[in-house]
Amino acid sequence: MSKSNLWVERYRPKTIDDYVFTDETVREQVQHWIKTQSIPHLLLHGSAGTGKTTLSKILISALNVDSIDVMYTNGSKEGRKIEWVDRLIGFAQTMPFGPLKIVLIDEADYLNPASVQPAMRNLMEDYADTTRFIMTCNYPNRIIPALKSRCHEIVINKTDPVEFTARAARVLLEESVDFDIDVLDNFVKATYPDLRKCLNLLQANSSSGKLVKPDLSSVETSDYRLAAIDLIKVRKHRAARQLICDQVSTADVEDVFRWMYNNLELWSDNAEGQDQAILIIRNGLVNHAVCADAEINLSATLVELSAIN
């Protein structure tokens, strides 16, 4: 499938007018930078799939920065090695073809904090006349204070769940895909607030022109949380718990806690029950840090959640 056929690329906002801001102050600030054709060093952080990279690229385009003046790096790959800094120095030392050079670093929270991040401190100041750094990350606490202090921080908040669902539904309608709202709701609950993941799953499960529940045996079209949501909705909590604990990897356990928190209505349909769910999820996270077996702790948390009602 070519990049142009991917829904996540086809429906990626291209201009500031298309981008959905969750904070009016951020919108005004970005518009000011575009008007003045200048930006400070930026650190954009928020949950995965909320539009950090999209906003960065829109801003670069609106500032009329030539592609040859943009250096793109994935911090979880090449940016982890100190050798990458030599490339960065070579890029920053040459004069830009236009008014500015931009270093765009995705997943900057994976830059090596013992070598790469400290090496960037002076570079951000030494080449500030011609080069700006834009960093995006999910975990800003992994960025050393010395880099944070050199950046203007922008928090990209989650889209409202109703707006998230509406955007997913608009894409399905635009693609002439027939869908049941309850099936779409499962996809939303499984992926919120990651719209990128939601669109990818929707596309993978609507090739017939109708949105269908995924085949769990297919890695490309399934997500175990989709099946778990189906089970929870019909109160088959034990089966859902077994499915989640069988499928989740150790590295993804904390993401499951966040997923449980993002979907409080799965555990209770009233405010009192949802408050109780928050406390249970909090306690589960606290125990996760000290429990010798992450699966047992996760399973116990799910048992407590299923007992709320």
pLDDT in tens, 113-153: 999 999 999 999 999 999 999 999 999 999 999 999 999 99
What strands lie across the sheet with 70-74, from one edge to the other?
70-74, 101-106, 131-137, 42-45, 152-155
Instruction: Choose among 232, 264, 253: nearest CA to 297.
Output: 253
Q: Percent of the chain beyond pLDDT 70?
A: 96
Asked whether residue 110 falls in the same domain as residue 144, the answer is yes
Asked whether residue 151 falls in the same domain as residue 35, the answer is yes
d(CA 55, CA 21): 9
pLDDT in tens, 49-69: 899 999 999 999 999 999 999
* pTM, to two decimals: 0.79
| pLDDT tier, 48 (very low <50, low <70, confident <90, very high otherwise) | confident
Domain that includes residue 208, residue range: 159-222
Q: Report, as an integer, the average pLDDT of 73-93.
A: 90
Q: Is 114 part of any domain?
A: yes
d(CA 240, CA 140): 33
pLDDT in tens, 172-216: 999 999 999 999 999 999 999 999 999 999 999 999 999 998 776
pLDDT exceeds cutoff 50 at 1: no
In the prediction, which pLDDT does 81 show? 83
Name the token pair of 156: 């990209």
Q: Is 228 part of any domain?
A: no
Q: Report, as an integer, the average pLDDT of 1-10.
A: 74
Asked whether residue 70 falls in the same domain as residue 26, the answer is yes
Q: Is 75 part of any domain?
A: yes
Q: Is 135 part of any domain?
A: yes
In the prediction, which pLDDT does 216 show? 64
Q: Is 208 part of any domain?
A: yes
Asked whether residue 262 falls in the same domain as residue 163, the answer is no
The residues, any chain, with a CB within 8 Å of residue 67's CB and separated by 6 or more, are none
User: How many structural domains comprise the chain?
Assistant: 3
Mean pLDDT of the chain: 92
